[in-house]
Amino acid sequence: MPSLLDWTPDDQPAVVVDVRTPGVWEGLLKTYASGTGVVALGRVFEIAKEHGVIHVLIERRYIDADWRSEHSHFYTTKFERYPSVCHRLHFFAAEVPSDLTDLSTVTSAYRGYSVLRPLESSPVGRTMIAPPPSMGTEATVCFATETVDVLGWPMSITAMPFISQDAQFMRCAHADIWMVSLQAHLRMGAPRWLPADVHRASLGGVIGGRQMPSEGLTLQQMLGALTTLGFSPAATALPADTVTSFNAEWRSLYAIVCRYINSNIPPIVVGEGHVWVAVGYNREPSDGHTRLTLYRHDDVLGPYVRINDPFNEPLPEHTWTQLVLPLPPKIYLSGERAEASGRWWFNQWIAGAPQDDPVREAHEADELSFVTYGLRARDFKHALLRRPSMDPALARAYRLAIWPKSLWVVEVQDRRLREAGRPSVLGEVILDPTSSHLDPRSVDDHGILAVHRPGRYISHGPDHGTRLELDVDPTPYESGLRVDPRAT
């Protein structure tokens, strides 16, 4: 524990550290962390190194709302005194001007920040650092964008929020709820919740241990906390059997997890005594095929931690058992039911489609892939600009469609085209997330807003049921799925 004056040794607004000097990264790690705290902070530094960070700007008297929340509700009750201020480290992949007067020259080199609490065993507080380059620019990552004030200069960072537990006031489940709630705040304008809010929201329910200091949360407490904080959470069990292909079984662990990552809704994974947040995935070549690699924010191990095989985790507490889904309050239709509806519609079409229909041909070749994701309707329409292979008539129909605020999209893709890096979408079903969770039985069911299959677009109006059918170009086009923000 640093002393009060050692933590803020002078009144300088900030200092700049050149981490190109040998031993500097190791010195920073030794200054801020010890014991278990070394792991998470070490991971943050590893990511900074991947980004080519050469200068670290350190604010040494940073007033952090999250630490103040923990401090006032727990650490001020302890006999030992804890500083009420933090250090905030900003990472730059360029040289920061030594006089700190004009930082406009390094805004494009900003890679994020990490707030460090005066807790050597768990120093990593609120952290927004860009996904590491090793994930690849084609990775799909949950993210939000934050504008940060750095000595009067605005800096923007797009990342998935991270925080480590302090093992007293906040445990792993608290930290995970905090991560998904901050992402929802930055991404959708949801309320900004502090650690004390998360701790208070999780009290009650089926208590599995002491609450202060916390011994952890039960599943019921996690669901109750997310509900209190404005989410409409769901829990779903994960299959215990190994399914190696993303498309081999649409209810596989990979398919369910990726469905929500596709939707920028980071699922909380419940393990055997530990929980973490699944934040991204990437497709990687393996033995002539494509395999999925998942990534997690683990409050103990750090952000963007690679998962080589979720069915063979090296630590028993990382055994995947179920997901807690922090769904927004007006997403009544789950991703699984949305995909079931999309598959149902295309299976009906395939049964009577002409022999040369691209969807039928891909299906019979066992190369048909369903990709499901949720997003705001405006984002779907704006993304049409990034889909140049789409028929302009189809794009116009989508732009003029009257839709709810959010959508579920179930794309059908030809896997062969996708793996060759070519436009691969053959069609899609657009669904209303506020519709009934019961499976639809026709395109006129109001849960299905629109359908596009090769050569044809079909939709109906929300109030008068006006049916619109258009002949469109059957040429495959680009996916509307959002990818790693570094690629956009």
Residues 366 and 464 in one domain: yes
Residues 307 and 365 in one domain: no
Choice among 123-137, 147-161, 206-220, 467-481 with the minimum mean pLDDT? 206-220
Residues 46 and 140 in one domain: yes
> Would you place residue 246 in the very low, low, confident or very high pLDDT band (cuts 50, 70, 90)?
very low
> Would you place residue 436 in the very low, low, confident or very high pLDDT band (cuts 50, 70, 90)?
low
**Model confidence over 350-359: pLDDT tens digits?**
998 999 999 9
Residues 316 and 358 in one domain: no
Determine the angle formed by the axes of helices 24-32 and 37-50, rounding to 10 degrees.
150
Is residue 163 one of the residues assigned to a domain? yes
Is residue 383 one of the residues assigned to a domain? yes
- The domain boundary, picked from 135, 167, 199, lies at 167
Is residue 199 one of the residues assigned to a domain? no
Residues 140 and 74 in one domain: yes
- The domain boundary, picked from 108, 139, 167, lies at 167
Contact 82, 168 (CB under 8 A): no
Residues 309 and 381 in one domain: no
Determine the angle formed by the axes of helices 335-352 and 253-262, rounding to 10 degrees.
100
In this model, does residue 245 exceed pLDDT 80?
no
Residues 347 and 279 in one domain: no
Residues 281 and 345 in one domain: no
Residues 353 and 388 in one domain: yes
Mean predicted confidence (pLDDT) in 315-327: 91
Tell which residue, 414, 450, 455, has the closest CA to residue 430. Answer: 450
Mean predicted confidence (pLDDT) in 182-200: 94
CA 74 to each of CA 10, 261, 367, 387: distance values in angstroms, whole numbers, following the listed order: 27, 34, 56, 51
- Residue 156's beta-bridge partner residues? 147
Is residue 183 one of the residues assigned to a domain? no
In this model, does residue 447 exceed pLDDT 90?
no
Q: How many domains does the chain have?
A: 3
Domain range spanning residue 95?
Answer: 4-167
Residues 156 and 122 in one domain: yes
Count Cβ atoms below 10 Å from residue 33 Cβ, excluding itself.
22
Is residue 67 one of the residues assigned to a domain? yes
Contact 186, 145 (CB under 8 A): yes
pLDDT at 406: 93
Residues 80 and 111 in one domain: yes
Residue 139: HSE in the Cβ half-sphere, 13 Å Cα cutoff: 24
Mean pLDDT of the chain: 89
Mean predicted confidence (pLDDT) in 260-282: 94
Determine the angle formed by the axes of helices 172-188 and 219-228, rounding to 10 degrees.
30
> Would you place residue 443 in the very low, low, confident or very high pLDDT band (cuts 50, 70, 90)?
very low
**Model confidence over 342-391: pLDDT tens digits?**
998 999 999 989 999 999 999 999 999 999 999 999 999 999 998 999 99
Mean predicted confidence (pLDDT) in 461-470: 87
Instruction: Name the DSSP class of 486.
Output: G
Is residue 216 one of the residues assigned to a domain? no
Which one is predicted more confidently, 59 or 211?
59
Choice among 125-134, 225-234, 409-418, 478-487 with the minimum mean pLDDT? 478-487
Is residue 185 one of the residues assigned to a domain? no
Residues 316 and 341 in one domain: no
**Model confidence over 209-218: pLDDT tens digits?**
666 666 678 8
Mean predicted confidence (pLDDT) in 82-98: 94
Is residue 190 one of the residues assigned to a domain? no
**Model confidence over 3-45: pLDDT tens digits?**
656 778 888 889 999 999 999 999 999 999 988 889 999 999 9
- The domain boundary, picked from 325, 346, 368, lies at 325
Mean predicted confidence (pLDDT) in 137-148: 92
**Model confidence over 60-78: pLDDT tens digits?**
999 999 999 998 988 888 8
In this model, does residue 260 exceed pLDDT 90?
yes
